[in-house]
Amino acid sequence: MGAVYVGVHEHSGEKVAVKLIATHVADEPRFRRRFNSEVETLKRLRHPGIVRLIGYGEEDGQLFYSMELVEGESLQQRIRRQKRIHWQAAIDIAIEICGALKHAHDFGVIHRDLKPANLILSTSGEVKLVDFGIAKLFGFGEQTLAGSILGTADYMAPEQADSSGVSVRTDLYALGSVLYAMLTGRPPFPGKRTTEVIEALRRDRPVPLELIDSELPEALCELVHQLLEKDPADRPPTALSVMNRLKAMRAGLLRQQTLPDHSMPTAHAVPGRDQPAAKPTGESTEKTDAGGHDTTGLSVNPMSNERPPSDEIRTADLGNPLVSENAKPQYPATVASQNTVVSDPPTNADDVAETPAEPVSRPTHFQSVDNESQQTSGRSAAETPTEHWKQAVSISLMTAVLIAGVILFFKAAEQPTADELYQVIAEHSEAENAGEARLEMDQFIKRFPNDPRYETVNHLRQSIDLQRLLRRLSVQAKLDISPLSAAEQGFLDAMKGRQQDPVGASSRLTQ
């Protein structure tokens, strides 16, 4: 599909990633039209969690675009190294991903190939999404071009496997798959062959997270499995709603940990899974600045890193600057503007013999996204003399929102009273969804053991735990993941038969 190089700006010395599009793909007229359309869309994506598009152009008829160069490791490398990522770190990463997805979805851009290999964890602790819209450009769109390669099926949504229409909920399914992989060390439907994965994707349900790791918070497990629903209508509607649920979940679980005495069982850290990531070795990339890109040339040199895992898109191959198996290798060149001399690649006798007598003139141009944005913003400022008034109103609104946020924060930090907690518990019990008040029950039991309503709340909490245990044993027996012990099987049978034969069930439980 192409090759990625480290490009060095001739004047500023700034390093960027330059992706060259393979000639046999770029020569397709329909691809060129889609390339220009996709670049115009990607130019609008300006978010800290999205790898920034810096410029794009054409050198001697070969299309290319340059991107921000990020120093770090991919989430896929982190998962392979740590096996499982602690749920607190997984929630933090997912929140950052949701912020980037929300920004892109607001502009009508769907990633279509969200997976750990396309998520970069920078050395400064940021999460960066790469290849936005590139999946559509290289085959997930209206047609598949010759030589294109689809993304890995491990994180594909069912509607993509069925060639149905994609939506923002397609990215949310992939987000659920990424969360599942972080928490378990593998995708929801692992398989050696793509056909096996796609068939399981259409037919099967993933193994419940609570059966793989009983220490995971139940609320997190429920959210992940909701994201992995087959029907897009059953998934959360937007990335913003998922981000808000994750933030509320994180705040509630952290509040549990800050209560007196000891933390709740689900909040225990798991040794070896919440260790800070070691700084990756063998990478020589440098983080780029966001400003001031001139339209002069970029000195380009092939990168010499390790080859990516086999399930990554071939265009992300940084180790070999070959465009394809049948194409000629790309030599270090200088991507230049009209005022810059372009260096010629090395030639040999065979190349000279193959050179046509009359050279063909091919188009060459380069456009920096930053410079283009600066020109546009300069025209906008001249056309809107009341811009300073709008900025003042915007600052006032942001100040009001900030003050409201501070007030809400202090209110959320206040410890609720016994009456307030019991009122929430009673409301959920009357609505027959007492399970949603587990956090309030735990706080009531922990903080108010001498309250006369303690036994009522404690009994209700034990009932919820019993129902959860029965549900887990039933799923374990149905899926035949691991055989139940004799005691577990007897307990499950007795509880199932208590409505038909309560006396017999009681006697079996007392044996």
Rounded Cα distance between 200 and 228, Å, is 13
- DSSP for residue 233: G
Would strands 15-21 and 2-9 be described as parallel, antiparallel, or unpaired?
antiparallel
User: How is residue 95 written in tokens?
Assistant: 């929140």
Neighbours of 285 (CB within 10 A): 17
- Grouping H, G, I as helix, E, B as strand and the rest as coil, residue 266 is helix
Rounded Cα distance between 84 and 315, Å, is 28
What is the secondary structure of 10-29 as a DSSP string?
A: TTT--EEEEEEEPHHHHT-H
The one catalytic residue among 113, 131, 154, 370? 113
Rounded Cα distance between 286 and 8, Å, is 11
Identify the bridge partners of residue 128 per DSSP, sorted by sequence position: 120
Neighbours of 445 (CB within 10 A): 16
- DSSP for residue 264: -
Q: Are 111 and 213 contacting, i.e. CB atoms less than 8 angstroms apart?
A: no
Identify the bridge partners of residue 301 per DSSP, sorted by sequence position: 6
113 is catalytic: yes
Rounded Cα distance between 181 and 189, Å, is 10
Identify the bridge partners of residue 50 per DSSP, sorted by sequence position: 129
User: How is residue 246 written in tokens?
Assistant: 């994750």
Q: Are 293 and 370 contacting, i.e. CB atoms less than 8 angstroms apart?
A: yes
- Residues with Cβ within 8 Å of 485's Cβ and at least 6 positions away in sequence, in order, are none
Q: Are 232 and 110 contacting, i.e. CB atoms less than 8 angstroms apart?
A: no
- Grouping H, G, I as helix, E, B as strand and the rest as coil, residue 67 is strand
- Residues with Cβ within 8 Å of 316's Cβ and at least 6 positions away in sequence, in order, are 4, 117, 130, 131, 308
- Among candidate residues 52, 179, 47, 35, the one with its CA nearest the CA of residue 102: 47
CA atoms within 13 A on the CB side of 378: 6
User: How is residue 204 written in tokens?
Assistant: 């099967």
- DSSP for residue 50: B
- Residues with Cβ within 8 Å of 391's Cβ and at least 6 positions away in sequence, in order, are none
- Residues with Cβ within 8 Å of 208's Cβ and at least 6 positions away in sequence, in order, are 221, 225, 472, 475
Q: Are 332 and 301 contacting, i.e. CB atoms less than 8 angstroms apart?
A: yes
- DSSP for residue 341: P
Active site residues: 113
